[in-house]
């Protein structure tokens, strides 16, 4: 049941029980394991628009964190059997392992259309009751994703070095973990960085004591305006080191500089979103997962640095990239690591190396 009273009846997959979260739709045809384990899906129930999910199983490699982060999964048809040489188990068993309640057999495209027309909203999947009044009461008492700090549920507990056995690193960076995807850390690693990952609540002096050559602000879940402690730290870091941000990191840096964010009607979730690079004129197909965006109107509030929009979303003209020349910083809203999705934007990681090397000249 959705919070506007719309009901979809289907069959249970994964665990029995109840789960509540914001219902969003994802347009990717593959990559369901990466989607489920992406920390940015914390407190969200994911509705997959592609009709058949689970046919290549799951494995221990295609993950973005150490567990399923989504609150639930909705599919048209879930495969209990699978066929892939890398598979180590089935999707239904994977859901059961992490105690995730799922739903199959509904018209997922009707649900998608409903969300597009009405906007993302809370929903509940239940095997416990079909009493509409009881379900609505539970939905009404569950907190909204707006003005709620979800980062604290997905950030790391203490600092660590990613890939500590790596040798021959060109530069050392600190990655502030707001819910970082492993795919992003892998791309930064391939770029040649030594990566020190720190919790989202880390203080400025703790970051600077590592003497990094750059600061990376990661992706993460929820409303950026609710993560005030991160905004405070970012404000104190501005201008001291080159900064690169992705998704939530993009939004947090914009807020720290004076801009504002707003909630999108139904968000961007999928691996096929067209983004125009305003510097080259080329269109990149991107992977995206966010429910909030930076207000273009609010960019006029940014003072003390040149702020330039570098990328826009061709579906709705929302901001997909910013550059701040005066403080040696740039950000993107989409996911250049492309997991799951294309690799059109992978060059964004190389740009971080160039920014650091030019800063050090």
Q: Render pLDDT for 263-274 as a digit per residue (tens, 0 to 9).
A: 999 999 999 999
Q: Which long-range contacts link 80-86 to residues 24+ away (Cβ below 8 Å)?
A: 80/54, 82/54, 82/55, 82/56, 82/57, 83/55, 83/56, 83/57, 84/56, 84/57, 86/56, 86/57, 86/59, 86/61, 86/62
Are both 110 and 80 inside the same structural domain?
yes
At residue 191, the pLDDT reads 96
Instruction: Tell whether 5 is covered by a domain.
Output: no
How far, in Å, CA of 332 to CA of 199, rounded?
21
- Asked if the model's pLDDT at residue 339 lies above 90, the reply is no
Residue 112: give the domain boundaries.
11-141
Domain termination site, one of 89, 113, 141: 141
pLDDT per residue over 57-91, tens digit each?
A: 999 999 999 999 999 999 999 999 999 999 999 99
Are both 230 and 353 inside the same structural domain?
yes
Instruction: Tell whether 124 is covered by a domain.
Output: yes
**Residue listed under structure tokens 């699978």:** 82
pLDDT per residue over 233-266, tens digit each?
A: 999 999 999 999 999 999 999 999 999 999 999 9
How far, in Å, CA of 263 to CA of 260, rounded?
11
- Asked if the model's pLDDT at residue 304 lies above 90, the reply is no
- Asked if the model's pLDDT at residue 361 lies above 80, the reply is no
- Asked if the model's pLDDT at residue 353 lies above 80, the reply is yes
At residue 341, the pLDDT reads 87
Are both 232 and 125 inside the same structural domain?
no
How far, in Å, CA of 101 to CA of 241, rounded?
44
How far, in Å, CA of 179 to CA of 41, rounded?
10
Confidence of residue 138 (pLDDT cuts 50, 70, 90): very high
Q: Is the dihedral of CA 40, 42, 44, 48 positive or negative?
A: positive
Contact in structure between 236 and 349 (CB atoms under 8 Å): no
Contacts with 160 (C-beta within 8 Å, 6 or more apart), sequence order: 196, 197
Tokens of 334: 């989409």
Confidence of residue 360 (pLDDT cuts 50, 70, 90): confident
Question: What integer best gives the mean pLDDT of the chain?
Answer: 97
Catalytic residue among 3, 247, 290, 320: 247
Tally the residues of the chain. Answer: 361
At residue 59, the pLDDT reads 97
Are both 313 and 262 inside the same structural domain?
yes
User: CA neighbours within 13 Å on the CB side: how many for 358?
Assistant: 13
Domain termination site, one of 141, 167, 202: 141
At residue 172, the pLDDT reads 97
Are both 123 and 158 inside the same structural domain?
no
Are both 99 and 241 inside the same structural domain?
no
Contact in structure between 184 and 219 (CB atoms under 8 Å): yes
**Domain containing residue 179: CATH number:** 3.40.50.880
Contacts with 269 (C-beta within 8 Å, 6 or more apart), sequence order: 24, 25, 26, 27, 46, 288, 289, 290
Catalytic residue list contains 337: yes
Q: Is 134 exposed, middle or buried (0-12, 13-18, 19+ CB in 10 A)?
A: middle
Tokens of 27: 């347009």
Are both 171 and 130 inside the same structural domain?
no
At residue 340, the pLDDT reads 86
Are both 70 and 32 inside the same structural domain?
yes
Are both 55 and 111 inside the same structural domain?
yes
Instruction: Tell whether 159 is covered by a domain.
Output: yes
Confidence of residue 2 (pLDDT cuts 50, 70, 90): very high
Instruction: Tell whether 102 is covered by a domain.
Output: yes
Tokens of 123: 């929903």
Instruction: Tell whether 6 is covered by a domain.
Output: no
Instruction: Tell whether 4 is covered by a domain.
Output: no
Q: How many CB atoms lie within 10 A of CB 67?
A: 12
Instruction: Tell whether 3 is covered by a domain.
Output: no
How far, in Å, CA of 180 to CA of 246, rounded?
9
At residue 227, the pLDDT reads 98
pTM confidence score: 0.97
**Residue listed under structure tokens 């309640």:** 101
Catalytic residue among 114, 250, 268, 335: 335
pLDDT per residue over 195-222, tens digit each?
A: 999 999 999 999 999 999 999 999 999 9
pLDDT per residue over 141-181, tens digit each?
A: 999 999 999 999 999 999 999 999 998 899 999 999 999 99
Question: What is the rounded average pLDDT of the residues 294-322?
Answer: 96
Domain termination site, one of 123, 141, 159: 141
Instruction: Tell whether 146 is covered by a domain.
Output: no
Are both 29 and 100 inside the same structural domain?
yes
Q: How many CB atoms lie within 10 A of CB 57?
A: 21
Are both 250 and 131 inside the same structural domain?
no
Are both 233 and 289 inside the same structural domain?
yes
Q: In the chain, how many domains are there? A: 2
At residue 154, the pLDDT reads 98
At residue 122, the pLDDT reads 98
Catalytic residue list contains 22: no
How far, in Å, CA of 303 to CA of 33, rounded?
42
**Domain containing residue 118: CATH number:** 3.50.30.20
């Amino acid at each position: 049941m959705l919070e506007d009273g719309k009901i979809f009846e289907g069959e249970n997959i994964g665990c029995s029980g109840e789960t509540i979260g914001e219902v969003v739709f994802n347009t990717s045809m593959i990559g369901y394991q990466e989607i489920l384990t992406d920390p940015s899906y914390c407190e969200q129930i994911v509705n997959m628009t592609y009709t058949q999910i689970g046919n290549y199983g799951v494995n221990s490699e295609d993950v973005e964190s150490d567990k399923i982060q989504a609150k639930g999964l909705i599919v048209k048809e879930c495969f209990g059997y699978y066929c892939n040489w890398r598979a180590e188990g089935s999707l239904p068993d994977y859901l059961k392992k992490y105690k995730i309640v799922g739903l199959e057999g509904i018209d997922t495209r009707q649900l998608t259309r409903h969300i597009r027309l009405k906007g993302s909203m809370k929903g509940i999947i239940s095997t416990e009751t079909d009493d509409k009044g009881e379900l609505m009461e539970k939905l009404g008492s569950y907190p909204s994703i707006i003005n709620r700090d979800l980062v604290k549920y997905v950030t790391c507990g203490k600092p660590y070095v990613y890939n500590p056995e790596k040798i021959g690193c060109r530069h050392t960076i600190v990655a502030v973990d707001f819910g970082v995807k492993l795919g992003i850390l892998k791309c930064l690693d391939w770029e040649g960085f030594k990566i020190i990952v720190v919790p989202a609540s880390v203080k400025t002096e703790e970051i600077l004591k590592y003497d990094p050559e750059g600061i990376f602000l990661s992706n993460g879940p929820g409303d950026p305006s609710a993560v005030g402690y991160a905004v405070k730290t970012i404000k104190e870091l501005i201008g001291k080191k080159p900064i690169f941000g992705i998704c939530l990191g993009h939004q947090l840096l914009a807020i720290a500089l004076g801009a504002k964010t707003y909630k999108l009607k139904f968000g961007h979730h999928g691996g096929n979103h067209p983004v125009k690079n305003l510097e080259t004129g080329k269109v990149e197909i991107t992977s995206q997962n966010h429910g909030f965006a930076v207000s273009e109107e609010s960019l006029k509030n940014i003072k003390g640095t040149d702020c330039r929009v570098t990328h826009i979303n061709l579906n709705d003209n929302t901001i997909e990239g910013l550059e701040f020349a005066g403080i040696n910083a740039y950000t993107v809203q989409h996911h250049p690591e492309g997991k799951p999705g294309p690799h059109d934007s992978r060059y964004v990681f190389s740009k971080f190396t160039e920014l650091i090397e030019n800063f050090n000249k």
